[in-house]
Chain A
């Protein structure tokens, strides 16, 4: 079982496993799944071998947004019918792999504890095979979602300027602080009217975290409202494929750039 000392990485080198980046929002309908797909595409464009994992067994829709009919999904992997590498579907047009969730079969929260453990353990397992694993968490704060968020190396919380979104995003930050104190988390503002109102949305949420949680939460980036996003979703195509250059696409690209340089809060 013992390896030789020479097999050890030099001090300060990064661990050999890939990064797990979880995307949460608390509230649904703020563009979380769209952001997860577009961020996956922007990171894959930079040469990262990437898996996008739909962390929702109840109302999965990564595959729907991409117009796919995958042969296997996360349910098959959890049931032990298919191994993870075989269940992942490669998308040549988008440049990354996806593991589809499952729609209409009860939520992850309703899994028995052993299945729940297996679902959470999928993430580190995937991180040994892919350089980046992006997890599109389900809306809400059930314990499966919380445990998946807690096991991520970076949690990105997507919020819009609506008070309901801010309140729910704050709840995600608060629970994440309890579940994984000190771990990396950043805020993504989506559907901003312009950069300055996006900045205001971020400051509002950051101020709540500062005052109530005594924590500085950095900004990962602001994504401006862009009609091309809706158009791409309606056509079930990834934004960066359909519109290689667009306002929202460029905004996500900037976030990907910062993440790939290891400073998502910059």
Chain B
């Protein structure tokens, strides 16, 4: 920016001086009277006259390729990635839905239904068949996908389209039975969508899990995570962690929420399961290593 302060007897004279010296693109930044004269600050920003600014050197850390927001990259720099992740993020075990119902929320296509199927599979294998509820009857075939998973597991799916119906469905829960609630894709920036989701959460007194796919734009993911955190979510389940090649959005989302990492969705089928996330596993994934079968504790 080239800034210059012009003094003249009248504003018109000052403006003429500015046009002559700085050209037609000059912008007036401020005008004030100083005694008998007028003082006008003006500036222009000609792209070619800009001093050459050398950007901060790219760092050869495994994180550089993941397109992290700069503020987060700075916090994660300078030490072992695993240690930095352990310090900057929270990692918690995903509850099983027996203490409080687990409600899966996220944008359309995030993998909520598949995650519900994976959690249901795990519960059945643990000997505690869950109460499986979906609030998504809007989308064609929405309930059918979950029903297909449930049929294999010998479970039924309750469809509850309203907060009241959800409350009623939960009354059928056996004592100590895990509850898994799948929801329709939400736009958390849409007031009606957000209000409906909050009503469902309240009706179920649910623990909300934000389900977000890896590979989104980092800023987009951060804004979504912040929105779900405001709606009451504390937990993040990133999906497609095995497929995505850039994990900046996953870290940006957990950071912005803030949301704690619980587990990560990997693999296309309900039996492929979820992997509990740890700093070491996430660090290895950031370094480009594939997720190993041994990682799959489900």
Contacts and interface: CB of A to CB of B under 8 A. Distances in A.
Interface of A: 1-5, 7-12, 15, 113-114, 117-121, 123-124, 128, 141, 143, 146-148, 150-152, 163, 166-167, 170-171, 174-175, 178-183, 197, 200, 203-205, 207-208, 211-212
Given A150-B71, A208-B27, A120 B91 contact: no
Kindly list the 7 A-B residue pairs having the minimum CB-CB distance in the complex, ordered from nearest: A121-B78, A117-B78, A151-B74, A143-B56, A204-B30, A2-B93, A207-B29
Interface string B80-109: 000010111011110100000000000000
B260 A8 contact: yes
Contacts of A5: 92-93, 95, 207, 234-235
A189 B40 CA distance: 19
B57 A2 contact: no
A98 to B, nearest CB: 22
B95 A179 contact: no
Given A2-B91, A208-B27, A163 B78 contact: no
For A118, A147, A183, the residue with the greatest tally of chain B CB atoms inside 10 Å of its CB is: A147
B260 A180 contact: no
A197 B32 CA distance: 9
Contact of B70 (A113, A180, A204): A180
B41 interface: yes
A207 B41 CA distance: 10
A167 B77 contact: no
A117 B270 CA distance: 42
A4 B1 contact: no
Contacts of A118: 78-79
B91 A3 contact: yes
B121 to A, nearest CB: 20
Given A2-B91, A208-B27, 7 more contacts: A2-B93, A141-B53, A143-B54, A143-B55, A143-B56, A150-B71, A211-B29
A128 B88 CA distance: 10
A207 B1 contact: no
20 contacts: A2-B276, A2-B278, A3-B90, A8-B92, A10-B234, A11-B230, A114-B78, A117-B79, A118-B79, A123-B74, A151-B75, A152-B71, A163-B3, A166-B41, A178-B55, A200-B30, A204-B29, A207-B28, A208-B1, A212-B45
B59 interface: yes
Contact of A124 (B88, B91, B219): B88
A188 B84 CA distance: 33
A150 B70 contact: yes
> How extensive is the interface on chain B, given as a class?
35 or more
A174 B29 CA distance: 16
Contacts of A7: 92
Query: What's the dominant secondary structure at chain B's contact region?
Result: mixed
A148 B296 CA distance: 38
Contacts of A182: 219
Contacts of A203: 29-30
A211 B27 contact: yes
Contacts of A4: 92-93
Contacts of B53: 141, 175
A204 B74 CA distance: 31
A128 B87 contact: yes
A147 B69 CA distance: 12
Contacts of B219: 181-182
A11 B3 contact: no
B185 interface: no
B38 to A, nearest CB: 13
B257 to A, nearest CB: 9
Contacts of A183: 71
A152 B219 CA distance: 18
Given A120-B74, A166-B3, A170-B3, A113 B57 contact: yes
Contacts of A1: 86, 91, 278-280
A4 B260 CA distance: 11
Contact of A113 (B43, B59, B75, B91): B59
A13 B235 CA distance: 14
Contacts of B56: 143, 146-147, 179
A8 B93 contact: no
Contacts of A120: 74, 77-78
B229 interface: yes
